[in-house]
Amino acid sequence: MTVTSLRPNMDHWQERVDLAAAFRWTARLNMHEAVANHFSLSVNDDGTRFLMNPNQMHFARIRASDLILVDANDPDTLEGPDAPDPTAWGLHGGLHRHCPHARCAMHVHSIHATVLASLADSRLPPIDQNCATFFNRHVIDEGYGGLAFEDEGARCARLFHDPKQTVMIMGNHGVMVIGDTVAETFNRLYYFERAAETYIRALQTGQPLRVLSDEVAEKTARELEDYPGQAERHLAELKALLDAEGSDYAS
C-alpha cells in the first residue's frame, strides 16, 4: 500500500494530500521562510471556506491531517485550535473573501521573488521562456503598508481584479501566487521563482538584456497556459518521490 492510498475519515482528503505535498516540496526547495508563510485552498463554491497550514508549523513536517479548515466570514475561526496567525488570517481571509477565482493561494518570501519585490522597478521582463510565462500575468503591489493584518490583506486582495493576473509581486514583501488547483498554483510558484532567479542573475552580469518582443512573449505565455497536463504531472511526480522516501505527508 502506498502512502497516498491511506484515507483517514476526514473531508477533502485528496486536496489535503496535494497541499501537504506542496508544503513539503516548498521546504525542500528552500522557498519557505521559517514558520512565517502560508498556503490555502478553497473547498466550497464561493471560496470562503479553505484549508490552510496550522499556526506556525514548519512546512517540512506538515501532514494532510494537520491542515485546518478556516471560514473567511467567521472571525471565531481565530479561536480554534492551531488557528491561523493574524497575518495569515488577514492575507488569505481577505483574498478568499474578495477573489472567488483564487481557489488556491500560495504566499512565500522565496529569495529571488523577494529580491525582485525589493527593486524600485519590480517588473519581470520576458528575457527567457520562464519569464515569458508571466508576461502581462503579474501585478505589482507598490503600496506595502506593514504586516498583512486584516486591512492590509484586504487591500492586497483587491489588486487581483484581473483574473488573467495570477501572480502578485508584493513590493517590499514577497510573492503571492493564485490558481485553480494545488498542482496549478504550485507549478506557477515554482516557475515564477525560477524566472525571478534568471532575471536577477542576468542583471548581475551588467550586460544588456535580450528581451522578447511583446508579441512573442504573449504567444509563449498562451502556449504554456495551454500545455497539456504539465502542472498535474509535476505534482504527481513530487508525490511519487515523497512516497518512495517513506514520507508521512499523506497521513
CATH number of 127's domain: 3.40.225.10
* Domain region containing 153: 3-244
Q: What is the pLDDT of residues 26-78, one digit of tens each?
A: 999 999 999 999 999 999 999 999 999 999 999 999 999 999 999 999 888 87
Total domains in the fold of the chain: 1
pLDDT-derived band of residue 7, with 50, 70 and 90 as boundaries?
low
The pLDDT, as a whole number, for residue 86 is 83
Residue 249 lies in a domain: no
What are the tens digits of pLDDT across the range 76-108? 887 878 888 888 888 999 999 999 999 999 999
Rounded Cα–Cα distance for residues 205 and 70 (Å): 45
Q: Give the separation between CA 155 and CA 153, rounded to whole angstroms.
A: 5
The strand order across the sheet containing 174-179 reads 68-71, 49-52, 38-42, 104-108, 174-179, 167-170, 138-141
CB 82 within 8 A of CB 68: yes
> What's the predicted TM-score (pTM) here?
0.94
Interacting residues of 180 by C-beta distance below 8 A, sequence separation 6+ = 103, 104
Give a yes or no: residue 170 inside a domain: yes
The answer as to whether 171 is a domain residue is yes
Alpha-carbon distance of 195 to 5, in angstroms, equals 35
Number of helices followed by number of strands (H, E) in the chain: 9, 7
pLDDT of residue 4 exceeding 80: no
